[in-house]
């Protein structure tokens, strides 16, 4: 395997590893959103029963419990990255990542003490320091967790089979991993403060473009779509959400690094009546409102255009497939199934889609839209748009409805003009299978393994939110037509021996079935 290919695969693996903590944050954020909205004074004025002591105490308690997740985001990233990046003994990797994260912070604390840089409590925020797990340290935030996760993954894969002399045999193998992680982290912890300022400066320099009112607002969603085929959009999102690339925000004397910590503080603690709410449009332009335009307007318009453009004889078969892809976006925030249905057969349409998302982002920003949070489902729109005051949620309709109309006519015209092979435009009579709808994962797995050249041709199986990611020995053995029988909405080869097969939200169950098929 070439170094370039190996590097690309590791970057993709890293991007996937960021999904686990984000997946936890999404539902917890919805709980925070509901609880946070219902304890706001303006909401209590509208619904007096919320002032009841038992109800109010319950909501505040729910908010505080859920908020504990967001107070420990770096620790979540440490565990998520360790799990995602390690190839062997993932449990030991996660255990080691927690130890590494603790050691990293205390080592930096020692460095600050010895060098005389430990700030007084009143000056911690201005010196870039904070209390983490009871330790005063540099504000490494999510990057600190990522560093610990990478250390744990590396030491796990390198030393989980380590053999020691008989006298030390008890510490051999998996037991050696957390111990070695401590040693590696001690070294890294003493080095980190020296390059931390340079790294922060580099991220801040990138932020100058991304935080620009026009270009940054356009580029973020545009590149988010462009990176999707390569699986790098998760890395891109995390940079702006959790690192200095997303800017630093001082709110009530507290410094928040990255978009999400600042957004969480304003949304869940301060509320719409605070002065800090004026910052919301600057923060939400990178968050859920962009995805809502995609899931609630663009994807349904594309689906309708595909259905209307399908040959009459095939519409009864594709209706269920297209409706499923649209509902997957509207209810589940997963847009890849429908995007991959035209991404590779019409790159120009995908470029149009990416540009339009950037245009929509700029439009929402200049209208002062403040609909926050991560996801773009109809539920998120109801919670973070309708339930919160001064979000200007109606801007989503002002921007979204014209985009729906434009998308419908552009996609309908393009599909017919260039005879694009979207679902339902096959000349031959095709009986569309219902394997995905019927959740026949074992049958799908059998088809996938067979189409990829059999068990002996598969070297590794992985998945992200929507795709199987499989390494192969010989791509010449792949039968693309047979793969289509599995119900996939798209296949592509990001590298010579690596294939992505798109299954949408069913993918994790299919991955489990494929693993079982390979073990038979």
Indicate the range of 150-164, 343-357, 494-508 predicted with least confidence: 494-508
Q: Which residues contact 92 (CB under 8 A, 6 or more apart)?
A: 156, 160, 174, 177, 178
Give the mean model confidence (pLDDT) for residues 250-271.
86
How do 458-463 and 490-495 pair as beta strands? unpaired
- Catalytic-residue membership of 464: yes
pLDDT tier, 4 (very low <50, low <70, confident <90, very high otherwise): low
What is the tens place of the pLDDT at every residue in 404-418?
A: 999 999 999 998 888
What is the tens place of the pLDDT at every residue in 228-259?
A: 766 667 777 878 888 888 888 888 888 888 89
pLDDT tier, 104 (very low <50, low <70, confident <90, very high otherwise): very high
Give yes or no for residue 348 having a pLDDT over 60.
yes
Strand ranges (DSSP E) for 235-391? Answer: 248-251, 254-257
**pLDDT score of 336:** 73
pLDDT tier, 396 (very low <50, low <70, confident <90, very high otherwise): very high
Cα separation, 329 vs 337, whole angstroms:
9
**pLDDT score of 502:** 79
Cα separation, 481 vs 484, whole angstroms:
5
**pLDDT score of 209:** 84
Ramachandran bin of 275, using left for φ above 0, alpha for ψ from -120 to 50, beta for the remaining angles: alpha
Q: Which of 192, 276, 464, 483 is catalytic?
A: 464
**pLDDT score of 363:** 96
Give yes or no for residue 369 having a pLDDT over 90.
yes
Ramachandran bin of 502, using left for φ above 0, alpha for ψ from -120 to 50, beta for the remaining angles: beta
Cα separation, 389 vs 372, whole angstroms:
12
Give the mean model confidence (pLDDT) for residues 380-390.
88
What's the token pair of residue 220?
Answer: 């973020």
Stronger pLDDT, 289 or 500, i.e. the higher one: 289
Q: Give me the chain's average pLDDT, please.
A: 85
Indicate the range of 168-172, 179-183, 340-344, 413-417 predicted with least confidence: 340-344
Give yes or no for residue 395 having a pLDDT over 90.
yes
pLDDT tier, 430 (very low <50, low <70, confident <90, very high otherwise): very low
**pLDDT score of 181:** 95
Cα separation, 50 vs 68, whole angstroms:
23
Domain ranges for the chain? 3-206, 215-279, 288-417, 441-519
pLDDT tier, 427 (very low <50, low <70, confident <90, very high otherwise): low
**pLDDT score of 1:** 55
Q: Is the C-alpha dihedral spanning 169, 171, 173, 174 positive or negative? A: positive
**pLDDT score of 210:** 84
Give the mean model confidence (pLDDT) for residues 374-387.
86
R_g of the chain computed on alpha carbons: 25
Cα separation, 117 vs 121, whole angstroms:
12
- With vertex at residue 297, the alpha carbon angle to CA 30 and CA 363, rounded to the nearest 5 degrees, is 90
**pLDDT score of 433:** 60
Distance between the two ends of the chain, CA-based, in angstroms? 28
Domain 441-519 falls under CATH 3.30.1360.60: yes
DSSP label of 310:
S
**pLDDT score of 230:** 65
DSSP label of 151:
H
Q: How many helices (H) and strands (E) does the chain have?
A: 22, 8
Stronger pLDDT, 256 or 427, i.e. the higher one: 256
What is the tens place of the pLDDT at every residue in 11-48?
A: 767 777 776 787 677 677 778 778 877 888 778 888 88
**pLDDT score of 296:** 94
Q: Which residues contact 117 (CB under 8 A, 6 or more apart)?
A: 111, 127, 193
Whether the Cβ atoms of residue 66 and residue 35 lie closer than 8 Å to each other: yes
Give yes or no for residue 429 having a pLDDT over 70.
no
**pLDDT score of 398:** 97
**pLDDT score of 107:** 95
Whether the Cβ atoms of residue 32 and residue 77 lie closer than 8 Å to each other: no
For residue 357, what is the enclosing H or E element? helix 347-366
**What phi and psi, each to the nearest 5 degrees, are found at residue 187?**
-65, -45
Percent of the chain with pLDDT over 90: 29
Q: Is the C-alpha dihedral spanning 400, 406, 409, 414 positive or negative? A: negative
Cα separation, 140 vs 200, whole angstroms:
10
Stronger pLDDT, 487 or 400, i.e. the higher one: 400
3-state SS class at 287: coil
**pLDDT score of 26:** 65
Of 25, 28, 59, 34, nearest in space to 382 by CA: 34
């Amino acid at each position: 395997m070439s170094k370039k290919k190996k590097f690309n695969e590791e970057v993709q693996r890293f991007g996937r590893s960021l999904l686990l903590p984000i997946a936890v944050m999404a539902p917890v954020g919805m709980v925070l959103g509901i609880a946070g909205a219902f304890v706001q004074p303006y909401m209590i004025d509208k619904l007096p029963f919320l002032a009841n002591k038992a109800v109010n105490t319950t909501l505040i308690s729910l908010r505080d419990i859920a908020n504990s997740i967001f107070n420990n985001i770096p620790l979540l990233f440490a565990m998520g990255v360790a799990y995602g990046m390690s190839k062997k003994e993932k449990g030991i990797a996660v255990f080691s990542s927690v130890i590494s994260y603790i050691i990293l912070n205390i080592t930096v604390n020692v460095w600050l003490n010895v060098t005389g840089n430990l700030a007084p409590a009143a000056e911690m925020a201005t010196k870039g320091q904070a209390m983490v797990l009871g330790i005063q340290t540099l504000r490494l935030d999510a990057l600190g967790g990522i560093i610990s996760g990478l250390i744990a993954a590396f030491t796990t894969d390198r030393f989980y089979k380590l053999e020691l002399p008989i006298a030390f045999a008890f510490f051999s193998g998996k037991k050696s991993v957390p111990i070695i992680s401590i040693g590696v982290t001690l070294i890294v912890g003493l080095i980190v403060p020296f390059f931390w300022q340079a790294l922060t400066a580099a991220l801040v320099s990138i932020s100058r473009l991304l935080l620009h009112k026009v270009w940054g607002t356009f580029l973020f969603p545009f590149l988010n779509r462009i990176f999707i085929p390569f699986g790098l959009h998760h890395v891109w999102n995390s940079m702006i959400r959790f690192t200095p690339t997303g800017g630093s925000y001082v709110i009530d004397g507290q410094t928040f690094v990255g978009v999400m910590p600042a957004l969480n503080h304003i949304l869940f603690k301060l509320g719409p009546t605070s002065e800090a709410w004026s910052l919301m449009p600057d923060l939400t332009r990178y968050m859920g409102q962009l995805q809502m335009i995609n899931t609630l307007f663009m994807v349904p318009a594309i689906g309708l255009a595909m259905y209307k453009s399908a040959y009459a004889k095939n519409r009864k078969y594709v209706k269920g497939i297209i409706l499923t892809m649209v509902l997957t976006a509207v209810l589940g925030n997963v847009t890849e199934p429908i995007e991959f249905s035209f991404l590779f057969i019409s790159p120009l349409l995908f470029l149009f889609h990416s540009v339009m998302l950037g245009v929509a982002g700029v439009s929402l920003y200049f209208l002062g839209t403040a609909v926050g949070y991560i996801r773009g489902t109809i539920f998120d729109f109801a919670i973070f748009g309708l339930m919160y005051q001064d979000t200007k949620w109606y801007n989503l309709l002002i921007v979204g409805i014209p985009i729906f109309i434009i998308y419908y006519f552009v996609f309908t015209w393009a599909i017919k003009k260039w005879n694009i092979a979207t679902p339902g435009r096959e000349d031959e009579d095709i009986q569309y299978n219902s394997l995905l709808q019927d959740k026949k994962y074992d049958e799908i797995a059998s088809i996938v393994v067979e189409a990829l050249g059999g068990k002996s041709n598969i070297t590794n199986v992985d998945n992200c939110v929507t795709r199987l990611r499989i390494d192969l020995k010989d791509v010449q053995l792949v039968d693309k037509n047979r793969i289509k029988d599995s119900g996939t909405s798209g296949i592509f080869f990001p590298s010579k021996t690596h294939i992505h097969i798109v299954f949408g939200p069913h993918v994790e169950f299919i991955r489990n079935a494929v693993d079982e098929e390979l073990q038979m």
